[in-house]
Amino acid sequence: MDKHIEKAMQLRNNARCPNCAETIMMTYAEELGLSESQMKALGTNFGGGMKSGSTCGAVTGALMVLGALGISDPHIVGEFQRKMKENHNGMINCFDLLRANAQAGGQKKPHCDGMIKEAIELIEEYR
């Protein structure tokens, strides 16, 4: 398993489970020269689709990490979002993703963990 995914799942299994954006950002904290608490603070308002069901925190967290890694090419950013949408029937909004997951009988935490893993795999693909 990728070291970043392993780190993210350790964070998610903590009693104080961080949201999707926080998790992805905290996973890359050391590599980016920031503390986990700084990265958690930066990502806090992006969980739950910016706390409003909008764009998934795994997506926004990954985009922030890509930017911090110096990856800002509009083609790559667009491709990242397209791949996430393609993998989820055209959806990247938290509300829609969670609703579809629930309708399929899924539980929230495993779904979100999967979104985090997928976003990290894409981050690593673009490095």
Q: Which among 90, 87, 111 is positioned nearest to 101, based on CA atoms?
A: 111
Provide the pLDDT for residue 62: 98
pTM assigned to the model: 0.96
Range of the domain at 11: 3-126
Provide the pLDDT for residue 45: 98
Count structural domains, the chain. 1
For residue 31, give both structure tokens.
Answer: 């590599």
Provide the pLDDT for residue 43: 97
Q: For residues 100 and 91, what is the distance between their CA atoms, to the nearest angstrom?
A: 9
Q: Which among 29, 127, 100, 126 is positioned nearest to 114, based on CA atoms?
A: 100
Q: Which among 45, 47, 23, 49 is positioned nearest to 36, based on CA atoms?
A: 23
* Length of the chain counted residue by residue: 127
Provide the pLDDT for residue 15: 81
DSSP one-letter string for 9-70: HHHHTSTT---HHHHHHHHTHHHHT--HHHHHHHHGGGHHIIIII-B-HHHHHHHHHHHHTT
CB neighbour class for 76 (10 Å; exposed up to 12, middle 13-18, buried from 19):
middle
Contact 113, 12 (CB under 8 A): yes
Q: Which among 124, 34, 47 is positioned nearest to 80, based on CA atoms?
A: 124
Per-residue pLDDT for the chain (127 aa), expressed as one digit of tens each? Answer: 699 999 999 999 988 899 999 999 999 999 999 999 999 999 999 999 999 999 999 999 999 999 999 999 999 999 999 999 999 999 999 999 999 999 999 999 999 999 999 999 999 999 8
Provide the pLDDT for residue 16: 85
Provide the pLDDT for residue 14: 87
